[in-house]
């Protein structure tokens, strides 16, 4: 199963791979060169299919917890000053996605969407400390009945060139459901109330819509 955001690229990749394979077979007489070009075309097709995969996962929809919004590795757990919305200290949990991870963004919890804002910006590597405030990004704030306001931020990386965000202000976010997509490498930050108990550790690999970040 593939994400809808990849349909056009997947079709283009299929056509390109087919053209390269057929043209190489017809026009190139040097055997090793022909095989190399065909192998490269098919490899690129497989990478595109792998990147836009969207595995079916049953949403948790449990109001007592916060779940991972994306697949990846936990690279930051620390208290920081969140200057855009809260303007006070929050507990930041950041998940880095490599190009090999599933890049679907899922709502980490249910509630009313208080803010959904796009920010143009730079394309620093996603693990750079300033990427959260300088890179192209979206900021989404959800009001939860137990945790209060929780902010998550989709952040473009050095390779990511498009962030897709489905969150709309005043609409309802449903935990675990599709909230967007970030194309080609990125990071998602969660900003939680101080003192929020965590079920994850630094460098732990998490799965979007499945791994429980916090359970109250």
Q: What is the pLDDT of residue 192?
A: 97
Q: What is the pLDDT of residue 27?
A: 86
Residues 6+ apart with CB under 8 A from 104: 3, 54, 70, 71, 178, 180, 181, 208
Residue 207 inside a domain? The answer is yes
Q: Are residues 14 and 40 located together in one domain of the fold?
A: yes
- Decide if 53 contacts 9 (C-beta within 8 A): no
Q: Pick out the chain residues at pLDDT < 70.
A: 123-133, 158-161, 184-185
Q: What is the pLDDT of residue 126?
A: 57
Q: What is the pLDDT of residue 176?
A: 93
Residues annotated as catalytic are 186
Q: What is the pLDDT of residue 161?
A: 61
Q: Please tell me what DSSP assigns to residue 113.
A: E
212-216 — which CB contacts under 8 Å span 24+ positions? 212/60, 212/65, 212/66, 212/67, 212/68, 213/65, 213/66, 213/67, 213/68, 213/93, 213/108, 214/65, 214/66, 214/147, 215/64, 215/65, 215/66, 216/64, 216/65, 216/146, 216/147
What is the number of structural domains in the chain? 2
Q: Are residues 71 and 172 located together in one domain of the fold?
A: yes
Task: Give per-residue pLDDT as tens, 166-199.
Answer: 999 999 999 999 999 987 668 899 999 999 999 9
Residue 166 inside a domain? The answer is yes
Q: What is the pLDDT of residue 183?
A: 76
Q: What is the pLDDT of residue 130?
A: 60
Residue 134 inside a domain? The answer is yes
Q: Are residues 28 and 76 located together in one domain of the fold?
A: no
Could you tell me which of 68, 126, 138, 130 has the C-alpha nearest to residue 99?
126
Q: Which domain holds residue 28?
A: 4-51
Helix, strand, coil shares of the chain as percentages rounded to 5? 25, 40, 40
CATH number of the domain enclosing 155: 2.70.70
> What pTM value is reported for the model?
0.85
Q: Are residues 128 and 210 located together in one domain of the fold?
A: yes
Q: Are residues 45 and 147 located together in one domain of the fold?
A: no
């Amino acid at each position: 199963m593939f994400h809808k955001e990849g349909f056009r690229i997947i079709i283009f990749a299929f056509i390109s791979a087919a053209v390269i394979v057929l043209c190489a077979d017809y026009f190139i007489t040097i055997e090793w060169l022909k095989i190399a070009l065909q192998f490269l075309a098919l490899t690129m097709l497989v990478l595109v299919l792998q990147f836009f995969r969207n595995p079916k996962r049953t949403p948790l929809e449990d109001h007592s917890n916060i779940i991972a919004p994306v697949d990846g590795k936990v690279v930051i757990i620390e208290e920081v000053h969140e200057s855009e919305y809260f303007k006070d200290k929050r507990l930041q949990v950041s998940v880095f996605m490599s190009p090999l991870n599933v890049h679907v963004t899922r709502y980490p919890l249910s509630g009313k969407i208080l803010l959904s804002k796009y920010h143009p910006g730079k394309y620093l590597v996603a693990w750079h400390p300033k990427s959260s405030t300088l890179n192209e990004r979206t900021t989404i704030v959800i009001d939860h009945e137990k945790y209060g306001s929780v902010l998550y931020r989709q952040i473009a990386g050095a390779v990511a060139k498009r962030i897709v965000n489905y969150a709309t202000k005043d609409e309802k976010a449903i935990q675990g459901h599709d909230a967007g997509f970030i194309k080609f490498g990125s990071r998602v930050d969660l900003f939680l109330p101080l003192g929020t108990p965590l079920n994850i550790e630094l460098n732990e690999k998490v799965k979007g819509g499945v791994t429980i970040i916090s359970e109250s």
